[in-house]
């Protein structure tokens, strides 16, 4: 269904499928009582939670462990005026279970940066929403 502004609302399954198509998204969280956005590479786990890998000493880990955050990923074609955006909202937590950490070391996302002490952050997919825009021609203004 296309709503009044030309966007089509995506269902949960379509949103999760689209997330597998892109390697980078953005974590939205609170830092010093202000909104913060950080681009990160990611992957989806078997339960569709978003997985990040970062340094154990990072500010991100301290800011998001145990709190609700948003994660956004998208893909747009400016020339065709089309694309999609998906937002996952849920509680973030550092993976502390040794067996789970070992499994994610094999199957989870690889950091694009060298990490001396890498940890995994899981964002539960509690709320998943998305929108798609398909080639709407504007007035050029």
pLDDT score, position 138:
57
The range of the structural domain enclosing residue 33 comes to 1-52
Record the tokens describing residue 85, joined without a space.
């955006």
Domain-embedded: residue 74: no
**Residues for the chain: how many in total?**
141
Report how far residue 107's alpha carbon sits from residue 120's, in angstroms, rounded to the nearest whole number.
Answer: 11
Q: Which helix (H) or strand (E) holds 61?
A: helix 59-64
**Looking at the 3D structure of the chain, how many domains does it have?**
1
Domain-embedded: residue 31: yes
Enumerate long-range contacts of 17-24, CB under 8 Å, 24 or more apart.
18/73, 18/75, 18/84, 18/86, 18/130, 19/44, 19/50, 19/73, 19/86, 19/88, 20/44, 21/75, 22/73, 22/74, 22/75, 24/73
The total of other beta-carbon atoms located within 10 Å of residue 111's CB is 15
Domain-embedded: residue 29: yes
CB of 48 within 8 A of CB of 17? no
pLDDT score, position 21:
96
Domain-embedded: residue 116: no
Domain-embedded: residue 3: yes
Domain-embedded: residue 108: no
Domain-embedded: residue 104: no
Domain-embedded: residue 11: yes
Q: Which helix (H) or strand (E) holds 7?
A: strand 7-10
**Average pLDDT of each block of 10 consecutive residues along the chain (141 residues)?**
74 97 96 94 96 91 95 95 96 96 91 82 98 72 48
């Amino acid at each position: 269904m296309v709503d009044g502004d030309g966007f089509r609302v995506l269902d949960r399954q379509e949103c999760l499928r689209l997330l597998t198509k892109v390697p980078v998204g953005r974590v939205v969280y609170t830092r010093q009582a202000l909104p913060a956005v950080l681009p990160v590479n990611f992957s989806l786990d078997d339960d569709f939670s978003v997985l990040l890998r970062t340094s154990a000493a990072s500010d991100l880990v301290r800011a998001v462990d145990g709190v609700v955050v948003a994660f956004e990923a998208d893909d747009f074609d400016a020339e065709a005026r089309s694309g999609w955006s998906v937002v996952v909202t849920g509680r973030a937590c550092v993976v502390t279970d040794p067996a789970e950490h070992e499994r994610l070391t094999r199957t989870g996302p690889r950091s694009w940066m060298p990490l001396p002490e890498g940890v995994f952050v899981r964002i539960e997919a509690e709320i998943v929403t998305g929108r798609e825009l398909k080639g709407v021609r504007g007035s050029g203004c």
